[in-house]
Amino acid sequence: MRVLILCTGNSCRSQMAHGFLQSFDKNIEVYSAGTEASGKLNTKAVEVMNEIGIDISQHSSDSVQKYLGEKWDFVITVCGGANEACPAFIGDVKHRLHIGFDDPSHAVGSDEFIMSEFHRVRDEIKDGFYKFYQENIKEA
């Protein structure tokens, strides 16, 4: 089972989703990428994942170009709001899905509020990807 998780910057939401999906089942090949990959991970995303025992600090922020020639069971986009364009993936894909989330890196306000947004989105990603895992992989 091969899964590619896509977003724009590949620094936050797709990285958290990658970490969760891999934690549910080590036998799944999980990768993440972005159409405009930032080349680095969002430090707050790494921090909130570490809080729950999932280390994504060694992940890399990769361009979607790296994966275009490969075969995928699932390609999942995770961008959220109407202001954000989700990347399209043209390639050998069995199933394309969209599981959208707000981008906590765009949160503005106090440090406490910003971290609360990272926690909220992290928890939503966990729930969304666990549901995906249960319905599409575990029962398959």
Range of the domain at 65: 2-131
The tens digit of pLDDT for each residue in 43-60 reads 999 999 999 999 999 999
Question: Inter-axis angle of helices 43-50 and 13-24, to 10 degrees?
Answer: 30
Instruction: Flag whether 136 is in a domain.
Output: no
Instruction: Flag whether 56 is in a domain.
Output: yes
Catalytically annotated residue among 12, 76, 78, 79: 79
Residue 12 a catalytic site member: no
Catalytically annotated residue among 3, 4, 7, 121: 7
Instruction: Flag whether 138 is in a domain.
Output: no
CB atoms within 10 A of CB 26: 7
Instruction: Flag whether 137 is in a domain.
Output: no
Instruction: Flag whether 107 is in a domain.
Output: yes
Rounded mean pLDDT, 114-139: 95
pLDDT for the residue 44: 97
| Global pTM exceeds 0.85 | yes
> Which of the pair, 79 or 17, is modelled with greater confidence?
17
The tens digit of pLDDT for each residue in 84-104 reads 556 667 778 899 999 999 999
pLDDT > 70? residue 83: no
Residue 7 a catalytic site member: yes
pLDDT for the residue 82: 45
- Hey, is 115 helix, strand or coil? helix
Contacts of 9 (CB under 8 A, 6+ apart): 34, 36, 37, 38, 61, 105
**What's the domain count of the chain?**
1
Residue 86 a catalytic site member: yes
Catalytically annotated residue among 57, 63, 84, 86: 86
pLDDT > 80? residue 80: no
Which CATH number characterizes residue 108's domain? 3.40.50.2300
